[in-house]
């Protein structure tokens, strides 16, 4: 059973705030989980409205690594964005060759889609505040999930202001949680970098350490 639960949507959709509420509820239920925060916040290159093809490539491949790595955990993992989200930005900024995402998509158990909300377009130095750009990215993310996701996972629309939606996500994650003793399996480095995604050439020790910083375990 795949172990990755994706909270997706364009910038300015309330993903991070929604995930915080989900994690709080998981904690109240004493459910063990891992969470991967948004990769773009760790990018050494300019992002947002000043982004570049190099930055988007860095974000995309480091996200791919984080997902391959966390898919080895024998516990549910919450993703704040996924490779599909970052691929939408990659396509906007990069005219290079298309990338096969299927190896990552097979690790998704469920994808929860949040609607774009222009009220969340706050100038924080990271996210662009252009409404048309937000709508374009939202449309691209939805199209990719709709075209590719139907082969691997279910997509559910979520209202971040509805407390029942928090319960819905937590209930889904709780179904995965092992009832017996838990063993977290860590793969060897060559197993991570030697998969179908050609990410080895994009990773450095510094990059791996940055990804490791984003793996946050909920205390038992």
Q: Which of 40-44, 128-132, 142-146, 212-216 has the highest mean pLDDT?
A: 142-146
Domain range enclosing 125? 4-217
Answer positive or negative: Cα dihedral of 16, 202, 33, 89. positive
The domain that contains 202 carries what CATH number? 3.40.50.300
Q: What is the pTM of this model?
A: 0.78
Tens of pLDDT along 73-112? 778 889 988 998 888 888 887 766 677 778 788 889 999 9
**Number of structural domains the chain divides into:** 1
CA distance readout (Å), 74 to 8, 35, 101, 177 = 22, 13, 22, 9
Mean pLDDT confidence for 38-57: 81
216 beta partners: 35
Residue-level pLDDT at 189: 34
Taking alpha carbons only, the member of 38, 20, 7, 9 closest to residue 126 is: 38
Contacts of 122 (CB under 8 A, 6+ apart): 12, 129
Tens of pLDDT along 112-169? 999 988 777 777 666 777 888 888 889 989 988 888 777 788 889 989 889 999 999 9
Query: 3 with 76: CB under 8 angstroms?
Result: yes
């Amino acid at each position: 059973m795949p172990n990755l639960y994706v909270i997706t949507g364009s910038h300015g959709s309330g993903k991070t705030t929604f995930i915080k509420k989900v994690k709080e509820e998981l904690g109240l239920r004493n459910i063990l989980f891992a969470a991967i925060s948004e990769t773009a916040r760790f990018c050494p290159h300019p992002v947002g409205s000043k982004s570049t093809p190099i930055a988007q490539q860095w974000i995309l491949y480091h996200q791919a690594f984080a997902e391959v790595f966390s898919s080895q955990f024998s516990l549910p993992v919450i993703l704040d964005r996924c490779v599909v989200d970052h691929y939408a930005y990659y396509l906007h900024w990069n005219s290079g060759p298309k990338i096969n995402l299927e190896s990552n998509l097979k690790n998704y158990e469920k994808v929860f889609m949040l609607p774009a909300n222009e009220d969340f377009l706050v100038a924080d130095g990271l996210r662009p505040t252009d409404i048309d750009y937000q709508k374009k990215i939202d449309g691209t993310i939805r199209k990719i999930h709709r075209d590719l996701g139907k082969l691997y996972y279910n997509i559910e629309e979520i209202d971040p202001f509805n407390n029942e939606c928090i319960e819905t996500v937590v209930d889904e994650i709780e179904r995965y949680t092992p009832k017996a003793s838990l063993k977290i399996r860590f793969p060897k480095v060559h197993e991570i970098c030697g998969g179908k995604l050609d990410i080895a050439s994009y990773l450095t020790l510094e990059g791996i350490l940055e990804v490791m910083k984003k793996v946050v375990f909920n205390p038992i």
